[in-house]
Amino acid sequence: MALGTEYDVKGSSIIREWSGQVQPALVASFVFLFCLEACLWVRNLRQKRRLPGPFAWPVVGNAMQLGQTPHTTFARLAKKYGSVYQIRLGRSDIVVLNGDKAIRQALIEHSTEFAGRPNFVSFQMVSGGRSLTFTTYSKQWKLHRKIAQTKLRDFSSATSQTKSAFEQHITVEALELVKIFLSHSSNGRHFNPSQKFTIAAANIMCALCFGKRYGHDDLEFRNLLQKLERFGETVGAGSLVDVMPWLQNFPNPVRSVYENFKTLNEEFFSYVKDKVDEHRESFTPDVVRDMSDSIINVIEHNEDCGLSKEFVESTVTDLIGAGQDTVSTSLQWILILLVKHPDMQRKVHELMDKVVGPDRLPTIEDRSRLAYLDAFIYETMRFISYVPLTIPHSTTSDVTIEGLHIPKDTVVFINQWSVNHDPLKWKDPHIFDPTRFLDEHGALNKEVTSSVMIFSTGKRRCPGSQIAKVELFLFAAVLLHQCSFEADPSNPPSLDCSYGLTLRPLHLSISAKLRGKLLDVVSPA
């Protein structure tokens, strides 16, 4: 989840594991089950399909057809079978939605019917089993979401007392990156800033949730990042037990992934719980220091809340886990596209000099006058679509989309990438062009920006999307105000990426140069 994209990416994780090489230890299992599955397969062939879709083999279904980039495979299959079709993974029938029209019809016009989550075993391990992101639609979920959304809005609204402190945290972290980048670029050196972006994004989430940032060499902070990275790596590797639960019953590589995923979730949840307990001990109702205090106040000190206190640490765990990965990944792609398009970078610099000048740092109040930078960020989100698939949805009742019937409790994959590359919605979607988001006066066209789908939409839209956009703008603005960036000629940037929790760039080597004088800002208390 950008800050919480609702982490609408679990489907892609499942598929990636399928699309890799079959683990040798699974071969015996496949042989053992083949006869049974073949019988079921023949029976299904004789039954009328509810939806169109590709031919599915016994045992594996369509898994081996999906390749290393399932989002593009899904879009290609849509050209043959339509925007709504059915695939099979293991013994699970899954509906795939593609294209702007079908997906918005489902998630907006039928938002309640598509608000469920599948009963996957991996979903039950996240955030102590009370994850806002991974639990299914219910009265309790609606109450939980309302609280989380309200508290996040408090930290990003113009009238919030905590808003300026949060924005200052971002500026401080961005300036720390500037200093590190300049240090690593001395004597014309080039370096990979990916890890630094990861630390910076995690620091912002710690500032939001715990009211403090950590030094880059802080041991406790490094341990936190290690847990977060292991979470991303494990989820990115996929969890076949979600579609083949019988794999839990005997030793095999998939069972090991399942057990490791369970362990790291328990460790990370325990870490967050310790921090929340520290906040409980020093909590004062009249002083809201950070998001943890705010959530403690509404859940534990409001008799009419309706949620138990365990939902406090679950909410905080969701926020940290959701915001760190997507924001850091987005910043990496922004930098790649800036060095791939130096003319666009120069245009941002010229605008920065005109609007902000050399003697102060950009602020969120400059955003409307730095519309081209905002447009560049939106085009990065659209063009890369670094959260290509949403976390799988599940239908809460029978529903009809594009004239096709989808039964209750059907697992649904939402292909966000196809929305952002829909030729019926975007002119030349394969071309990177930030000006598509600007009107004739050079202002940001909000109607066009609302067409980008990176935080999902409908009832499962990321509740932290506005905070994520503030983060991305301020990080990019401060970095570009202070620095110019160049690619490594011997290792030019590419759009190659690894397919996991998000689309992460594989190659990023840059150098940074100070544009004027190095500015500073007082760190918030």
DSSP code for 99: S
Calpha distance 24→447 (Å, rounded): 51
One-letter amino acid at 339 equals V
Residues with Cβ within 8 Å of 359's Cβ and at least 6 positions away in sequence, in order, are 519
Instruction: Pinpoint the alpha helices (H) of 47-193.
Output: 70-81, 100-104, 139-156, 163-184
How far from 441 is each of 258, 350, 354, 436, 438, CA to CA, in Å? Answer: 53, 17, 17, 12, 8
Calpha distance 39→412 (Å, rounded): 26
Calpha distance 200→292 (Å, rounded): 20
Calpha distance 414→391 (Å, rounded): 8
**CB contact at 8 A, 416 and 98:** no
DSSP string, 260-319: HHHHHHHHHHHHHHHHHHHHHHT-BTTB--SHHHHHHHHHHS-TT--S-THHHHHHHHHH
Calpha distance 338→407 (Å, rounded): 45
Question: CB-hemisphere CA count at 13 Å for 399?
Answer: 26
Calpha distance 452→447 (Å, rounded): 10
291-295, long-range: CB < 8 A, 24+ apart: 291/151, 291/152, 291/155, 291/208, 291/209, 291/316, 291/319, 292/209, 292/210, 292/211, 292/316, 293/211, 294/151, 294/154, 294/155, 295/147, 295/148, 295/151
**CB contact at 8 A, 9 and 498:** no
Residues in the chain: 525
**CB contact at 8 A, 66 and 15:** yes
**Any binding-site annotation on 462?**
yes
One-letter amino acid at 286 equals D
Question: CB-hemisphere CA count at 13 Å for 312?
Answer: 28
DSSP code for 497: E
Binding residue ranges: 462
Binding residue ranges for heme: 462
